Structure 1
C-alpha cells in the first residue's frame, strides 16, 4: 500500500495536470461504501498538502477535486442504500461481518442526519454511514447538504495538515521534501487504526449463542 501511494504522490508531483483526477479517484474510493477501509486517501491529501507548501502544486489542483470525489463517493453509496434497502444485509461483506451495518445503524439512529457529516471523519463508520442513510430512508435533500458540507471541510483539513506539517519539517529539521516522511507515518497510522477498528467490529459480529456449538 505504501509503495502504491508513494508512486501516486510522485506521479502527481511530476504531472500537476493529472493531480486533480488522481486525487478525485482516491477521495472517491475513501468515501465509497466499504472500499474506504482499504484506500487511505487521507495520506495522499496530506502529501499533496506538502507539495502545495513546496510550490509544486496549486491548491486548485487538489482541493476542488478532493471535495468532488468525496461528495460523489458518499452520494453513490447513499443511492445504493436507497436501492438495496434491507437487501444490503445479504451481500458481502455484510453477510460475513454484519456488525459493520449494525454499528452504522446505531450511529445513524443516535445522531440522525448529522451522522453523515460526522461519519466522514470517523474510521470504519465512514465506510457505511452513507449506505445506512439510504437504507433507513433519509431524505436526499438533507443528506446531500450534510454530504457536501462534510466534503468541503474534510478536504481542506487534510491538505492543510500536510501544508503545516511540511512547513514545520522544513523549518525545524531542514527537510525540504516532507511528503515521503508523512506518507510513511500516515499510512502506518491509518492501517493500524483501520485494522484495530475492523477487528473490533468483526469480533463483535457474533452473538454469544453463535459462539456455542450446536448441541442438537
Structure 2
C-alpha cells in the first residue's frame, strides 16, 4: 500500500494537471457504495490534499472538488439502492459480506435522516448509508438536502488537514515551527485517544477523566505559550498568506456567531427553553456549562493579559488568551451535542460530539483568519470549554445519567437557536466588516 501510494503521489507531482481529477475521483470513490469500504480513501484524500496545498489549488478549489466528488458518490450509491432495492443482498460482494449492509440498515432504521449526517463521519457506514436510503425509498429531495449538508462538513474535515500541511511545507516558516507543531499535535492526539478510550471503556468515570485531561492540557498551554512563539507565528503566517478579501464577508458572518452578545442570548434562549419544557436537569447542565465557561474565560484573560496579534488596521484592545469566541462556541455546541447523545450508544454519542465540534472549530479558526487571536488562544479556549462541559456533566450525572430529551423539545430548541444565530450573524454586518479589515 505504501509503495503504491508513493507511486501515485510521485506521478501526480509530475503531472499536476490531473490532480484536480484525482481529488474528485478519490472523494467520489470514498463515498461510493462498497468501493468506499475496500479502497483506503481517507489516506489517499490526505495525500492528494497535501499536493493541492503545496500550491496547485487554493483551499476553496480543493474543498469544492472534494464536495462535488462526495456528492456524486452519494448520488450513485442512492441510485444503486433505488434500482436494486432488496435484490442488493444478492450482489456478489455483499452476499459474501452481509455485515456491510446489515449495520448500515440497522443504523438507518434507528436514526433516519440523522444517520446520513452522523454516519458520514463513520468509515464503514459512510459509503453504505446512501445506498440503504435508496433501498428504503427515501424521498429524493430529502436525500439531496441532507447529502448537501453532510458532504460540505465531510469535505472540510477530511481535506483541510492535508491541504494545510501542504501549504505549511511550501512556506518559509520560523525555524522551530515544526518541532513545536509536533508537540501541539501530539498533545492533542494523546488527549483525543484518552477521551475516546475513557468514553468507550469506562462510562461511569469517562467525563471525569476527560475533564481532568483537558485541565492538564489547558495548564500546559498557559505555562508553555511563551515557548510556542514560532508555532503561533507560523500558523498566523500560513493563514494570512491565504487570506482573500472575497472571503472576508463570509468569515465575518461566521465569527459573529461567537460574539459575546450572540452567545449570551443563545445560552439564555437554550436554558430558558429547557426550563420552559421542564427539562430541569438538562437546563441545569446547559446553564452551568455555559456560565462556567464564560466566567473561566474572563478570569483567565484578566490573569494572563496577553496582547493580541497586530494584524488588524485597528487592533482590538481587549486581552487575547483564551479566545472568548472559541470557548463560548465550543461550550454551546458541545452542550447541544451532549444533550443529543443522551440515551444513545457510545459510538453515536461520540459522533454527535464530533459534529458539534465542526461549527465550533469553524468559528474558532475564523479568529485566526481575521487576525484577532493567536492559534494558542483558540486552543486554550477550546480546552477550557471541553474541561468545563465534562466537569459539569460529571456533577449533573453524579447520581444517575441524563435521560434523552423528547423529540418535540428538539423541534422547539433547534429552530429557535438557528433563527437567533442567523439574526445576530447578519445584524450590523457592514460595521463588523470594517472592524476586521487588515
The answer on 1:51 being equivalent to 2:21 is no
1:15-164 correspondence to structure 2 within 5 Å: 15-164=15-164
Q: Which runs of 5+ in 2 are unaligned?
A: 182-438
Instruction: Give the secondary-structure state (helix, strand or coil) at the position aligned to 2:70.
Output: helix
Instruction: Give the secondary-structure state (helix, strand or coil) at the position aligned to 2:6.
Output: helix
TM (norm. structure 1) is: 0.71
Instruction: Give the secondary-structure state (helix, strand or coil) at the position aligned to 2:93.
Output: coil
User: What is the alpha-carbon distance in structure 1 between the residues aligned to residue 48 and residue 128 of structure 2?
Assistant: 26
Partner of 1:9: 9
CA spacing shift, 1:60–1:165, aligned 2, 3 Å: closer
CA spacing shift, 1:140–1:54, aligned 2, 3 Å: same
Greater RCO between the two (CA within 8 Å, min separation 6)? Answer: 1
The answer on 1:172 being equivalent to 2:178 is yes
Shift of 1:60: 4.8
1:183-198 correspondence to structure 2 within 5 Å: none
User: What is the alpha-carbon distance in structure 1 between the residues aligned to residue 179 and residue 55 of structure 2?
Assistant: 19
Shift of 1:58: 2.7
Shift of 1:150: 1.5
User: What is the alpha-carbon distance in structure 1 between the residues aligned to residue 55 and residue 124 of structure 2?
Assistant: 34
User: What is the alpha-carbon distance in structure 1 between the residues aligned to residue 39 and residue 138 of structure 2?
Assistant: 26
Cα deviation 1:49-98 (Å, max 9, x = unaligned): 33344334433552222111111011111111011111111112222122
**Bigger-Rg structure (1/2):** 2
User: What is the alpha-carbon distance in structure 1 between the residues aligned to residue 39 and residue 75 of structure 2?
Assistant: 18
Q: Which runs of 5+ in 1 are unaligned?
A: 176-216
User: What is the alpha-carbon distance in structure 2 between the residues aligned to residue 49 and residue 121 of structure 1?
Assistant: 18
The alignment covers a number of residue pairs equal to 174
Partner of 2:279: none
Shift of 1:129: 0.7
Partner of 2:348: none
Shift of 1:116: 1.5
CA spacing shift, 1:72–1:118, aligned 2, 3 Å: same
User: What is the alpha-carbon distance in structure 1 between the residues aligned to residue 9 and residue 34 of structure 2?
Assistant: 23
Instruction: Give the secondary-structure state (helix, strand or coil) at the position aligned to 1:70.
Output: helix
TM (norm. structure 2) is: 0.37
Partner of 1:205: none
Contact 1:9–1:44 (CA<8 Å) still a contact in 2?
Answer: no
User: What is the alpha-carbon distance in structure 1 between the residues aligned to residue 62 and residue 53 of structure 2?
Assistant: 12
Contact 1:29–1:36 (CA<8 Å) still a contact in 2?
Answer: yes
